[in-house]
Amino acid sequence: FEPWNDPDEKPLIQFQNVSKRFGDFTAIDDLTIDIFEREFFALLGPSGCGKTTMMRMLAGFEAPTEGKIFLAGQDIAPVPPNQRAVNMMFQSYALFPHLSVWENIAFGLKREGMPRNEINARVDEMLRLTRLEKFARRKPHQISGGQRQRVALARSLAKAPKLLLLDEPLGALDRKLREETQFELMDIQEKTGTTFVIVTHDQEEAMTVASRVAVMDNGQVKQVATPADIYEAPNSVYVADFIGDVNLIEGKATATGKGSYALHWRDGVEPLTVESQNIFSDGQTAHLAIRPEKVTISADRPAKAANAVQGKVLDIAYLGNLSTYHVELPTGDVIKAQTANTRRISRRAYTWEDTVWLSWTASGGILLAN
């Protein structure tokens, strides 16, 4: 393998207006995206949004009803699954129970008729890559779940595919092992330079491993961007709400200057001040999406805050490094504020029923049309 350098912005996969229908049900709806060489790309979305269907079309187990899929510039429609430079790793791993780890990894290479010395070299390389050297002679039932997962990965990378599809690869692992394995996956992806496409419904997992994330809803891609952009600049209420925790405040926008708006959100309540890149016409419905960590909680009204509202602490969730406060306003709205617990929290700053101020800057949130 060549070591990984910069991602060359060359699309390895192109979905061009791809639709997939099962009877009159549309699982994938006119989808167009590029996935680049050497990318770690995540398909993220709720159950049933079409993630697995996209994978199956790439692998060749399903054909698009409409549109085309290109792999390295070539229409893959006529290429049978076993001749695509694509491999798929399933959640169940599907290891052969009667074969050793070594034989499991070698299986596909033998079937391909690769010369013995090349197989030996290749399997050894895979064992090193996945840190399984010590387990080469063991059978799948003699190793842990995490190790089995690595055998499955080694086996699917042995033939050096251009593209590896991972369908919920870490679903069977417990939380701690899952987190460790995410870093291993990233490391292995980087070392091999293989394009990885991972399917997950776990947003933290997608954000951790992927260089870019596609957020899907009902057969459509809502946004494709880096994890940071998905989190900080979501393009829709759906994406803002799907990724992380968010306060959503709906109102009517009125321009008050270039790129700045007043959001009228409750009768008889001061409008909110918002700076926005997105353009709104006067009176247009807009949603302020503001992350809880952008909301500051204080006992007194802050002197210079662009936005400040008063309320009562309803709930506190202590998360160790963070605490999330649910604060109820006189309007009945509940706003979440999150603080970092950088100091000892034994003297907790605020408690239930405390009257507090919540404040945020004009650019702390993002204004979305829908």
Q: Which stretch binds ligand ATP (CB under 6 A): 45-53, 231-239, 278-286, 360-368?
A: 45-53
Is 52 a binding residue for ligand ATP by CB under 6 A? The answer is yes
Q: Is 50 in the site for ligand ATP (CB under 6 A)?
A: yes
- Smallest separation (angstroms) from ligand ATP to the CB of 22: 3
Name which position in 48, 81, 145, 330 contacts ligand ATP (CB under 6 A).
48
Q: Which positions from 113 through 152 interact with ligand ATP, judged by CB under 6 A? A: none
Given the rule CB under 6 A, which of 43-51, 64-72, 259-267, 292-300 is the region that contacts ligand ATP? 43-51
Choose which of 15, 38, 42, 51 interacts with ligand ATP (CB under 6 A): 51
Size of residue set near ligand ATP by CB under 6 A: 12
CB of 272 to ligand ATP, least distance (A): 36
Angle (nearest 5°) at CA 334 between 332 and 339? 150
Contact stretch for ligand ATP (CB under 6 A) within 21-29, 105-113, 125-133, 188-196: 21-29
Site map (CB under 6 A) of ligand ATP, residues 174-213, x = contact = ---------------------------x------------
Retrieve residue 159's tokens. 């033939």
String marking each residue 294-333 x if it binds ligand ATP according to CB under 6 A: ----------------------------------------
25 binds ligand ATP (CB under 6 A): yes
Least separation, in Å, of the C-beta of 69 and ligand ATP?
A: 15
Is 47 among the residues that bind ligand ATP (CB under 6 A)? yes
Q: Work out which of 1, 22, 96, 318 binds ligand ATP, going by CB under 6 A.
A: 22
Q: Which stretch binds ligand ATP (CB under 6 A): 19-27, 74-82, 172-180, 310-318?
A: 19-27
Q: Which residues bind ligand ATP (CB under 6 A)?
A: 22, 25, 27, 45, 47-53, 201
